[in-house]
Amino acid sequence: MGGNNQSQPTLAFAPVFLVVIPKESAVALAVHTHTTPTTPFTLTNDMTTQPNPAGHFLRMTNVNVALGDRVVLHDINLTIQAGEHLTILGPNGCGKSTLIRTMNCEVYPAIPPSGHPRPEVNIFGRPRWDLTQLRQHFGVVSDNLPGLQSLANRTPDSAGSTTGRTTGTDAVLAGFFSASTLWPNLVVTADMRLRAAEALDRIGASHLAHQPIGEMSAGEKRRILIARALVHRPRQLLLDEPSNALDLAAQRSLRETMRTLIHQGTGLILVTHHLSDIPPEMERVILMQNGRITHDGPRQTLLTEPVLSNLFSTEVKIGHHKNWLHTW
């Protein structure tokens, strides 16, 4: 399990282009690193401290991603400023999840044929990252993160399971080690405990500190996942479909949490297909359909009935309440 190793860090290279070649081409699998010599990557002090303090959080150009023989992201060109708040909206199957995995260095762009522009992915101004260091600057809250399915599970944990016995504080502390629980070999410092308490307090979840995960509701577990991501004090936070499986009270609490984080200065990227999840402070909207970014612009222009009806291929009606939007 991810929790009981503190050995060598996992290295992520961006852009390191994974070629997934269709069978009929009879070409072997290959990788290519753009503008970087093909020498082994060794972590140095300057590579593991702070990213470029100004400018972009993310820059993708000419990015296509294939899973197996199928291209699922097409010609992605996307720039997100550090600290920017935006939402990525689209129907199921539009490519949102693969875009998240590309941002998260889980998958990489494919090498294009000779003569075509090479893809490029830069995160905080750097083309490659040690994933354990990236987590200090870019937090991801998703039910689909490797190793966290048990923590994000929407059904109650068994009272005797390891995750079920883990308290809220320990689950947040385990985020320092990318673990689902605190294993005996993990060394927790006093500073880590202070930062875990700070993260829980930031989202109003201090009351969950001593509560076992197995006794938490889906909404409470979601708040623990957010606190885990915040424990590193990241500059940018991505929330992937955060309101899924939450009741009305938990959805309202989640939206208040998102607004709090925005006001505290954390850059927030929301990936959703629910209009009602989008905080009024998110002025930029990216729409995706069939693996492509079809629109990128201000919410006043894109969050309209004609545009969304076309995006979701069904009639969409929009209501307004105190700058929040809802659909039916």
Q: How many domains is the chain partitioned into structurally? A: 2
Q: Is residue 121 part of a domain?
A: yes
Summarize the confidence of residues 246-266 as an average pLDDT.
91
At 322 the pLDDT is 87
At 118 the pLDDT is 92
164: pLDDT strictly greater than 80: no
If pLDDT is split at 50, 70 and 90, which confidence band does 163 have?
Answer: low
- 215 and 241 part of one domain: no
If pLDDT is split at 50, 70 and 90, which confidence band does 285 have?
Answer: very high
33: pLDDT strictly greater than 60: no
Spell out the alpha helix ranges (H) of the chain. Answer: 96-103, 131-134, 149-152, 162-165, 168-173, 190-202, 218-230, 248-263, 299-302, 305-312
Q: Is residue 147 part of a domain?
A: no
At 128 the pLDDT is 85
Give the domain extent around 161.
157-233
The pTM (predicted TM-score) of the whole model is 0.78
Model pLDDT for residues 9-21, shown as the tens digit of each residue: 433 434 433 433 3
In the 8-state DSSP scheme, what is residue 212? B
| Cβ pair 170, 162 in contact under 8 A | no
Q: What is the mean pLDDT of the chain?
A: 80
Give the whole-angstrom CA distance, residue 295 versus residue 318. 19
Last residue of a domain, one of 233, 265, 292: 233
- 208 and 220 part of one domain: yes
- 243 and 205 part of one domain: no
- 118 and 261 part of one domain: yes
> How far lies 18's CA from each of 33, 67, 137, 152, in Å?
10, 10, 24, 29
At 201 the pLDDT is 94
Model pLDDT for residues 288-300, shown as the tens digit of each residue: 999 999 999 999 9
57 three-state secondary structure: strand
Model pLDDT for residues 36-59, shown as the tens digit of each residue: 332 232 223 333 445 554 588 999
- 218 and 252 part of one domain: no
- 215 and 253 part of one domain: no
